[in-house]
Structure 1
Amino acid sequence: MNYDVIIIGSGPGGYVAAIRASQLGLKTAIVERESLGGICLNWGCIPTKALLKSAQVFEYINHAADYGIKTAPAEADFGAVIKRSRGVAEGMSKGVQFLMKKNKIEVIMGTAKVKPNNKVEVRAADGSQKEITAPHIIVATGSRSRELPNLKQDGKKIIGYRQAMNLPQQPKSMVVVGSGAIGVEFAYFYATMGTQVTIVEFLDNIVPVEDEDVSKQLLRNFKKAGINVMTSSTVESVDTSGAGCKVQVKTATGTQVLEADIVLSAVGIIANLENIGLEETGIKTDKGKIVVDEFYRTGVKGYYAIGDVVTGQALAHVASAEGIICVEKIAGHHPEPLDYNNIPGCTYCTPEIASVGYTEKAAKAAGYELKIGKFPFSASGKASAAGAKDGFVKMIYDAKYGELLGAHLIGANVTEMIAEIVVARKLETTGHEILKAVHPHPTMSEAIMEATADAYGEVIHL
């Protein structure tokens, strides 16, 4: 065998698994067809945050007078904003290259295909092929933008998230189809930069996986920001024959046609499973995902899968955690299986959204009797001082035992606050323990304590 472990794909699942495998003394190779770091580093999590930061800075400058500062009218250089984002992504990808060298991981550039008998075929860009072997092969090929039959992406007028990060010029108008994290982040970015944005969402609420109170708050903020939001609506067709796009949208009250320069399809993702040898190797799939056990073993000995190609939240931090668990099990350790009900979800529009655990609706459906507390940032001294009073913290507890069932935050920097709640749930902390843990003042984070106090009838600042 050439290696102990071969990993296919170098996204946050693959490259993290490779580093952990190397730390555990396993001779490791990673195969990547495009750029180290995968979609997350190059075309996803990282560059989008750079775009969103530029939009936030632009928004700050435009509202400088609110903070007692006079400025000349700000002007956004769209090309420079895109260039900065690409630079951030390139820097992070180089960082992964450094980590591969540091950990003595062999990087093989090319397109991989798993084969029976612990083999991987790699085809390089020049067409040359080679075969490598290992007793343990991990598939971490990630996902791509999902296409609807009536919303085929042409990369120019109907685009996915990848093109949305690299448009040659700023569109005057845009229709965003889908209001998950990708949809609302791009909606916020383009609207803040001056594009007229309309969101079309099939379900009744935007950010539909979030607690309904969070959805309602974001809807208010987006409407205030001039973003047009259409829920319970579907895009029937898009006519791209003219200069722009004519988008036919079916709503509860009838059909209307929206005109826009660009249509961004943000209707989810699909796993990259095609042409990677699953069928001939005997690896089973179900509903577009590879079937694995709690340690990411497929039904074929020596073959594993992690990240967006398996069932579970399609998030970078989930893929990384799965990769670590997978290789620790391979190395003979005894890792704890991942608790998929304690995974934080973060959305980086303004205001930010962060949540973990049960929504109120799901907790009730699970049969819990609830104690719910809510603390608005309008009552927070730090939020008032920062000029960021929109949003709230909502804490959900089991009334019987005080178990922290879920938390739902919307507001400035809440993505930096959610980790406290994830750790608290991991440690099986009760509501009373959070309430009696002294939180610093003035901070946004004390809203977690205040919302807990509200749940137990002890709130001070409301």
Structure 2
Amino acid sequence: MNSTPFTAVEAPVTPASGTAPEETDVIVIGGGTGGYGTALRAAALGLRVVLAERDLVGGTCLHRGCVPSKAMLHAAELVDGIAEARERWGVKATVDAVDWPALVATRGDIVARNHKGVEGHLARAGVRVARGTARLTGTRTVVVEGEGGGAFTARRGIVLATGSRPRLLPGLVPDGRRVVTSDDALFAPGLPESVLVLGGGAIGVEYASFHRSMGAEVTIVEAADRLLPLEDEDVSRHLTRGLKKRGIQVRTGSLLTDTKLPTNGVRATVRTPKGDEVVLTAERLLVAVGRTPVTDGLGLEAAGLSTDERGFVPPADWSRLETAVPGIHVVGDLLPPPSLGLAHASFAEGLLVAETLAGIPSRPVDYAAVPRVTYSSPQTASVGLTEAEARARGIEVKVNSMPLTAVAKGMVHGQGGIVKVVAAADGAGGEATGAVLGVHLVGPHVSEMIAESQLIVAWDAEPSDVAQHVHAHPTLSEAVGETFLTLAGRGLHQH
């Protein structure tokens, strides 16, 4: 294994105070999931670590994204449960009102406790948190400007983990009230009566689902020809069906061409796939058209680095996530595809980089085996290749799908959904005797069901390997077992 030349340290950069830079082993710039994950693992391996963060450790995921949004989606699930109890089960219950300040307070408490936990982990690990804005001044030197800052030299390396921000559209400026992004949607005042969601990826779908549960009229506008365009087509189809069943309007293949902001909301002009232009009105416009890496002010040029045409900082060596400058590594949202821009992928990247800097062997991140989840209602969860991706690679595949309502627990939930398995057809006659390439789920609680499939894909299991294991009855995961039984030629309820 090639190791970073740890002894190559640049001449110190003296800060304005005149004091010499403080020497450490590793400097991590950015305290989000990838950054603090790297710092914790590096410290556990005995390295001295400085973590520079200009805001709050935990980053977007903890403070503006994953954690607070899933807290709110849980509240939405409770509201949906009351409606189901009344309409389907004869439980005469109603939602009198949603106490928005109370909802916000509970969400805030969950975020605050998580934040305190992260800070506690860093303190116990001995990670020094330098509060301020970090800037590269060389290939081994960083200046952190702020009250808790200083100048630092890294003996072993620097890790760039500055994350991303919501991508904006030209001329569309968020005001936190009528026009919001995914970073500030949960912090906008009150619950709107109507929402226009621009973007049908995971973030847009989740926010559309939340607002619909809370009683808003919701329309999703997506430029691609389907929602979740990076997922399997059957996932998109079943998700769209579930969202429409809930009363969410879905306009795919549609482009926003103009936006006006009257005092009482938003008027958006949208071009349909047929070329017609329609005007959609809503109290709030939520822009969820992706995210863009944050590198402004980072001083990449001082270290001999630059971004690619999309703003990413690409690694020269994906097995180490090391840039073209030895000793400078990248994790999280600064990485281009195949990195996924997901918090759990960032943790894995942080482990890899920390172990690399410590000089111990570490397995590269297998992005094909990283699960992808959309926490809407219905949920989606996938791992591995889609059917189209497998066929595009020239792989002969055997595919089996099973509706969740084909098992008893799926009927109990009554929300529809599917299990879809894509396997290599290596046997004579096209039997699925090759490895499982992808598993795709839609339905209730599938975010908690994907872990089994993650192991199946990551360990190159074959359908017969899975089919020999017994799934509990009645459960939703029983449908996963049944799908593999059929692929292995041992089908019970599916033929």
TM tier, smaller:
over 0.9
Matches within 5 A, 1:10-25: 10-25=31-46
Residue 20 (structure 2) pairs with residue 27 (structure 1): no
Given the superposition, is the C-alpha separation of residues 129 and 357 from structure 1 closer, same or farther in structure 2, using an over 3 Å criterion?
A: closer
Q: Check whether the contact 1:373–1:453 (CA below 8 A) recurs between aligned residues.
A: no
Q: Which residue of 1 aligns with 2:4?
A: none
Q: Which residue of 2 aligns with 1:86?
A: 108
Q: Check whether the contact 1:388–1:412 (CA below 8 A) recurs between aligned residues.
A: no
Q: Which residue of 1 aligns with 2:197?
A: 176
Q: Which residue of 2 aligns with 1:109?
A: 131
Q: Which residue of 2 aligns with 1:378?
A: 405
Q: Check whether the contact 1:62–1:74 (CA below 8 A) recurs between aligned residues.
A: no
> Which segment drifts farther, 145-154 or 174-183?
145-154
Q: Which residue of 1 aligns with 2:455?
A: 423
Q: Which residue of 1 aligns with 2:178?
A: 157
TM-score, scaled relative to structure 2: 0.90
Percent of matched pairs sharing the same residue: 38
Provide the C-alpha distance between the structure 2 equivalents of 1:150 and 1:421, rounded to a whole number of angstroms.
43
Provide the C-alpha distance between the structure 2 equivalents of 1:389 and 1:179, rounded to a whole number of angstroms.
21
Q: Name which of 373, 377, 381 aligns with 1:346.
A: 373
Q: Check whether the contact 2:195–2:216 (CA below 8 A) recurs between aligned residues.
A: yes
Provide the C-alpha distance between the structure 2 equivalents of 1:212 and 1:238, rounded to a whole number of angstroms.
30
Provide the C-alpha distance between the structure 2 equivalents of 1:151 and 1:210, rounded to a whole number of angstroms.
28
Shift of 1:301: 2.5
Q: Check whether the contact 2:379–2:447 (CA below 8 A) recurs between aligned residues.
A: yes
Q: Which residue of 1 aligns with 2:333?
A: 308
> Which segment drifts farther, 376-385 or 186-195?
376-385
Q: Check whether the contact 1:158–1:262 (CA below 8 A) recurs between aligned residues.
A: yes
Q: Which residue of 1 aligns with 2:302?
A: 280
Q: Which residue of 2 aligns with 1:227?
A: 248
Provide the C-alpha distance between the structure 1 equivalents of 2:131 and 2:141, rounded to a whole number of angstroms.
16
Q: Check whether the contact 1:375–1:454 (CA below 8 A) recurs between aligned residues.
A: no
Q: Which residue of 2 aligns with 1:133?
A: 153
Residue 459 (structure 2) pairs with residue 436 (structure 1): no
CA offset digits 1:109-151 (Å, max 9, x no partner): 1111111151111111x6x862112121111001010012143
Matches within 5 A, 1:261-280: 261-280=283-302
- One-letter amino acid of the structure 2 residue matched with residue 303 of structure 1: I
Q: Name which of 380, 392, 401 aligns with 2:418.
A: 392
Q: Check whether the contact 2:64–2:184 (CA below 8 A) recurs between aligned residues.
A: no
Q: Name which of 35, 51, 75 aligns with 2:72.
A: 51
Shift of 1:61: 1.2
Shift of 1:76: 1.7
Unaligned segments of structure 2, at least 5 residues: 1-21, 427-432
Q: Which residue of 2 aligns with 1:123?
A: 145
CA offset digits 1:426-456 (Å, max 9, x no partner): 2221111111111121111121111122334
Provide the C-alpha distance between the structure 2 equivalents of 1:300 and 1:428, rounded to a whole number of angstroms.
35
Provide the C-alpha distance between the structure 2 equivalents of 1:53 and 1:90, rounded to a whole number of angstroms.
17
- One-letter amino acid of the structure 1 residue matched with residue 278 of structure 2: Q
Q: Classify the secondary structure of the residue corresponding to 1:71.
A: coil
Q: Check whether the contact 1:375–1:393 (CA below 8 A) recurs between aligned residues.
A: yes
Provide the C-alpha distance between the structure 1 equivalents of 2:139 and 2:221, rounded to a whole number of angstroms.
48
Provide the C-alpha distance between the structure 2 equivalents of 1:167 and 1:86, rounded to a whole number of angstroms.
14
Residue 159 (structure 2) pairs with residue 148 (structure 1): no
Q: Number of residue pairs matched?
A: 459
CA offset digits 1:331-351 (Å, max 9, x no partner): 111111111221110010011
CA offset digits 1:244-279 (Å, max 9, x no partner): 111010112300111111110000000001110101
Shift of 1:243: 2.2
Given the superposition, is the C-alpha separation of residues 185 and 137 from structure 1 closer, same or farther in structure 2, using an over 3 Å criterion?
A: same
**For the aligned residues, what is the CA RMSD?**
1.5
Residue 99 (structure 2) pairs with residue 77 (structure 1): yes
- One-letter amino acid of the structure 2 residue matched with residue 452 of structure 1: F
Q: Which residue of 2 aligns with 1:290?
A: 313
CA offset digits 1:18-49 (Å, max 9, x no partner): 11001100011111111111110111111100
CA offset digits 1:153-179 (Å, max 9, x no partner): 233321101221112111111110001
Q: Which residue of 1 aligns with 2:270?
A: 249
- One-letter amino acid of the structure 2 residue matched with residue 399 of structure 1: A
Residue 351 (structure 2) pairs with residue 328 (structure 1): no
Q: Which residue of 2 aligns with 1:362?
A: 389
Provide the C-alpha distance between the structure 2 equivalents of 1:230 and 1:150, rounded to a whole number of angstroms.
22
Shift of 1:152: 3.1
Shift of 1:68: 4.1
Provide the C-alpha distance between the structure 2 equivalents of 1:72 and 1:52, rounded to a whole number of angstroms.
19
Structure 1: 4+ residue segments shifted above 3 A:
none
> Which segment drifts farther, 333-342 or 346-355?
333-342
Provide the C-alpha distance between the structure 2 equivalents of 1:421 and 1:167, rounded to a whole number of angstroms.
37
